[in-house]
């Protein structure tokens, strides 16, 4: 089971480059960042954790662009995966976003993992012209269109929300297939969507009984005719050995730990302590 970290990026505290470098030195496998283009002041959508329009963290208002953040991280690391937890692709132009992600994967020698969300903040989506009730359809079309641009010499796509004729688009990603992980509540509907359109599941802070949900995801995965096993990333878990062993036995392939909103020195010390608890290879630290 791999271990990653997520930095809730903002315009204060440790930079993504410094955090990614420290995480790589400490032996972690992946570095994740989130995405919000903006937060409308007046909102109808409740936050999943607070249940109302209040936000649990003011960094929602200050989030850095994920692709710029990961590009800076790529320039100072060589091994660690560069991931989003989660990005909101439907808030960008799919052709332009495909180019951005392909460029990052090309320049980082194939280290990108695309974590995506449907978007809890439908007011934010509405400002981008995305109907809240159609956000799953829009995301599916975006992913299909981007995959065509990443893989086909002459790519084209025709859908309800994305459409373009035969086009050339290079660079292609260094990876033959960029992994796509969906961060959403562990429901039957979500798992069916993942089995048809993605490579795995990222749990949310509200998900309990991860072991049972992981088992159900694997059942649906095979019902839909998918080979192998889905990736399962567990967010915000306890780092004690017994809990980690249970998650690994349940099919969890990665744990993701959130970095504290502290000074750079404190974050780096925190990473070293967590690496010790997880028994990460001493040679990498």
pLDDT of residue 1: 97
Going by their DSSP bridges, the two strands 200-202 and 180-183 should be labelled as parallel
Beta strands in 176-277 (DSSP E): 180-183, 200-202, 231-235, 254-258
Tokens, residue 111: 């280290």
- For the chain, the domains span 2-130+175-278
CB neighbours of 279 closer than 8 A, spacing ≥ 6?
A: none
* Domain 2-130+175-278 of CATH type 3.20.20.30: yes
Q: How far is CA 210 from the centre of its chain?
A: 18
The reply to whether the predicted model has a pTM over 0.85 is yes
Q: Average pLDDT of the chain?
A: 96
Band (282; pLDDT cuts 50, 70, 90):
low
The model's confidence at residue 283, banded by pLDDT at 50, 70 and 90, is: very low
Indicate whether 270 pLDDT > 60.
yes
pLDDT-derived band at 193, boundaries 50, 70, 90: very high
Give the pLDDT band of residue 206 (cuts 50, 70, 90). confident
Report pLDDT for 164: 98
């Amino acid at each position: 089971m791999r271990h990653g970290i997520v930095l809730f990026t903002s315009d204060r505290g440790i930079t993504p480059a410094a955090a990614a470098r420290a995480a790589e030195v400490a032996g972690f496998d992946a570095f994740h960042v989130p995405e919000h283009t903006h937060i409308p002041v007046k909102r109808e959508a409740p936050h999943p954790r607070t249940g109302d329009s209040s936000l649990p963290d003011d960094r929602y208002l200050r989030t850095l662009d994920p692709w710029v953040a990961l590009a800076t991280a790529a320039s100072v690391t060589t091994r660690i995966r560069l991931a989003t937890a989660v990005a909101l692709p439907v808030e960008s132009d799919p052709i332009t976003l495909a180019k951005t992600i392909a460029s990052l994967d090309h320049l980082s020698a194939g280290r990108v993992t695309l974590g995506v969300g449907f978007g809890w903040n439908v007011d934010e989506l509405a400002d981008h012209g995305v109907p809240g009730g159609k956000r799953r359809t829009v995301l599916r079309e975006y992913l299909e269109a981007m995959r065509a641009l990443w893989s086909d010499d002459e790519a084209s796509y025709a859908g309800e929300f994305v459409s373009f004729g035969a086009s050339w688009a290079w660079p292609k990603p260094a990876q033959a297939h960029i992994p796509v992980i969906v961060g959403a509540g562990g429901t039957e509907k979500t798992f069916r969507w993942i089995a048809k359109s993605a490579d795995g599941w990222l749990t949310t802070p509200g998900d309990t009984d991860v072991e049972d949900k992981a088992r159900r995801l694997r059942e649906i995965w095979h019902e839909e005719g998918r080979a192998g096993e889905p990736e399962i990333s567990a967010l915000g878990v306890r780092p004690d050995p017994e809990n980690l062993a249970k998650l690994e036995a349940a099919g969890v392939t990665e744990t993701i730990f959130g970095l504290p909103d502290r000074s750079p020195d404190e974050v780096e010390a925190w990473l070293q302590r967590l690496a010790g608890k997880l028994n990460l290879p001493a040679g990498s630290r």
